[in-house]
Each structure stands twice: as C-alpha cells, then as structure tokens.
Amino acid sequence: MLCIMNDNVKKIKILHIGEYVNGGVATYIDTILGIDNSAFDEYLVMSKERSALEWDNVPADKIYCYDYRRGIFQAVAAMKTIYEVINRFTPDIIYCHSTWAGVMARVPLLFMRNRPKVIYNAHGWAFTMQVAGWKKWIYAMVERVLYHATDCVINVSNYEYNAARKFGIPADKMRVLYSGSNEVDGNNVPAKKLFCDSTINLLFVGRFDPQKGVDFLLKTFADYSRDDIHLYLIGDAVVSTNEYKKINDNRIHFLGWIPHGEMGAYYQSCDAVIMPSRWEAFGLVAIEAMKYKKTVIVSDRGALPELVKNGYNGYVFKMEDEGSLKSVFDKLEKKCLVQLGNNAFAEFKKNFSGSVMREKMKAIYEELLSGK
C-alpha cells in the first residue's frame, strides 16, 4: 500500500493516452480523473482531431494533443510523437484507452528498457465486433503480442473478460472493473419534466446504427398497438444511412443529438430507458439511466445482462425476437417502473458509481506500484 503523507513526497504521475477521446471513452477518463489529488498527478495525451479538448480536472499544461487521422501512416507518426511525450512527462503509470491508442503507445514500449507500468483498456475488444472471423484472429494476435508490454489489462465487464480468454489473452494480468458514472448533483436535477405524464415514455440514446439495434426497436414498436407508450430517440445515423425517420407514427419522436450537459433532463423525464443493442462491451447508457432512478430495458447481448437483473432493476428481452420485446411492453405500468427505478438506483450506488470505480482503480494503481 502506498503511503503519501505530505507535499514533500513526490506525486505519482499517471499519463492517460487516447486516440479519439470523446463519447464513452471521454466519460470513462473523466470519471477516474482526480482519484487522489494529494497522491497522483494526471496527464492526458490524445488526438487533436475528434477529441474533447477541454477538461475540468486536467489543467491545460498537462494536456498534449497530437495531429492524427486514423490510418497506418498516421499511426506511425503518432506513435513517434507519443513516445516523445512519454519521455518528456516520465510517468510512473501509462494508461492506454482504446484499441488504437493501445497499439500506438505499446509498440514502442515493447523495446523500451525500464518502461513505466502500463495499463490497457480496450473499451471493447476489436475481436468482439461483428467482422469476419479472420479479422478477429488478426486483432487477437496483435493483442497477444502487445500483452508483453502491459502490466494490467482492464476489462469493463465479465463479457469482455470471457471474450479475451476465448481469443487467447492470458488471464494473469487481466481484471474486471465496471465503468462508473459520477453521481447526480441534487442542485442540477431539472424541476420540469419534458415528456407527458399521461403516457409511458421510453428513451433510446445512441447512434442509429445496426450495433445499437435501433432498426429492430423501431420495427417492433411500430407494429405494437398500445397508444399510451411513446418512444423518444436521442441520436442520429453516423455510419449507416438514416432510413429510420421515414416511419410515420405519432408515438415515435426523433430528438436528434442533445448536448451532454442537457442529457440529465431527458433521463429524469422518461419512465424507462431502452437499449436494444446487438453488441455492447459494457453499456454506459444503462448506468446513466440507473443513476437517475430509471428502469432499464435491455437485450440479452454482450454485457447488458450483467447490468440488468430481469424483474429487479429492469427487463431483459431476447434480441431479434419481437415477441419477447412486445411481452416487455405489455408489462409496463408507471407504478412498477418507479419501483424498478428505485432498485436500479440502489444497484448504481453499490456497483456503478464514480466513487466506487475510483476506489477500485486506485487500488489497482497502488498494487502495480508496490510490485505485488
């Protein structure tokens, strides 16, 4: 156990390295920043392109942004720059976030003597994506090689851990640490609801892409007859064509992208959040819903069944089975949703809050530096 008692003791430097640091990865990093300001000094390196450039918990002089667009030649140039930054900051711990950042940071470290301790979080293994089998094994081979330049691998769910073992990633350095979310500030809870109280309001948040299952959700909902259930969708198409908005149903409402700072009002105003994903390494939207005391309805894919206990803090349905999802819709009534939402909040406080996540992450830092 590290004992850092006063300002005369040198702080432990942690260098977070990312590629495109936005969305879920940015939320993850923001949640673990500031674990113990008296003991740890944290720095951030990321692509200038498509990254969140302003951070409340990291001063500007501790943030380095490199020029980069995803591609082999650009990755080599970024690799060189990241290596130079590592030498400049001389961190005690390097924390690599996401697949490409893990490659660009760890390849040089394979040949570095007396390298810092290295933590890697894929934030969703590349070999669990819906791609050709031969690609999955190439991704796994690369990960097994880079494992030699890694001291700890963080999996964000048991689903991720089991997938890694299936593809030959050794277990000795791997940990499971659920992602967390910072608690809601009571002063920021919106006083006015955005949706009608006389209807049951379901909220979808995410990209309108096949991975997120929005096509299945809309098809099933449009074919469902209850008029007192309304579906609100926050997001839009990113990599797929947006044919979804052609559905003509007055119960379905497309809201577009909502600024992150305004999302709390939408979580607070709905009755339940629905995630019909075909694949999820974790499911941060589910955690965001739970912290606002909302029931979560999820598919049985990826890590989602780890987060939602069917009938306790939400419902789990069989993906691609319209009858299974419709049977969940049949059960929905406001009084029950309030009770399940309260259970969801209890689950959030126990397993998924930012404070719980930071305490577990701090223990991993201390263990790595103690040499155990």
**CA–CA dist 80, 107 (Å, integer):** 10
Q: Which of these ranges, 53-57, 126-130, 219-223, has the smallest mean pLDDT?
A: 53-57
Q: What is the mean pLDDT of residues 342-363?
A: 95
365 — pLDDT class (breaks 50, 70, 90): very high
pLDDT higher than 50, residue 274: yes
Backbone angles phi, psi at 98, to 5 degrees: 90, 160
pLDDT higher than 50, residue 179: yes
Cα distance between the two ends of the chain: 10
pLDDT tens across 212-256, in order?
A: 999 999 999 999 999 999 999 998 875 555 666 677 889 999 999
pLDDT at 39: 87
pLDDT at 82: 92
pLDDT higher than 50, residue 290: yes
Sign of CA dihedral 24, 95, 103, 139: negative
3 — pLDDT class (breaks 50, 70, 90): very low
Q: What is the mean pLDDT of residues 257-274?
A: 91
Angle in degrees, CA 217, 223, 228, rounded to 5: 85
pLDDT higher than 50, residue 310: yes
As a whole-number percent, the residues of the chain with pLDDT over 90 amount to 67
Q: 10 Å Cβ neighbour count for 267?
A: 21
pLDDT at 185: 65
Q: Position 12: which residue type? A: I
pLDDT higher than 80, residue 34: no
61 — pLDDT class (breaks 50, 70, 90): confident
pLDDT higher than 80, residue 266: yes
Q: What is the mean pLDDT of residues 111-115?
A: 89
Q: 10 Å Cβ neighbour count for 343?
A: 18
Q: Position 114: which residue type? A: N
Closest CA to 149 of 188, 113, 97: 113
Domains and CATH numbers, the chain: 12-181+354-370 (3.40.50.2000), 186-352 (3.40.50.2000)
pLDDT higher than 50, residue 192: yes
pLDDT higher than 90, residue 2: no
Contact 291, 345 (CB under 8 A): yes
pLDDT higher than 90, residue 75: no
**Average pLDDT taken over every residue of the chain:** 90
**Which residues, 6+ apart, have CB-to-CB distance to 138 below 8 Å?**
none
Give the residue, 185 or 8, on which the prediction is more confident: 185
User: Six-digit token pair at 100?
Assistant: 């490409």
pLDDT at 5: 35
pLDDT tens across 77-102, in order?
A: 899 999 999 999 899 999 999 999 99
**CA–CA dist 178, 158 (Å, integer):** 9
Q: What is the 3-state secondary structure (H, E, C) of 89-100?
A: HCCCEEEEECHH
4 — pLDDT class (breaks 50, 70, 90): very low
User: Six-digit token pair at 263?
Assistant: 């999302």
pLDDT at 92: 96
Q: Which of these ranges, 51-60, 158-167, 310-319, has the smallest mean pLDDT?
A: 51-60
Contact 217, 274 (CB under 8 A): yes
pLDDT at 306: 96
pLDDT higher than 90, residue 187: no
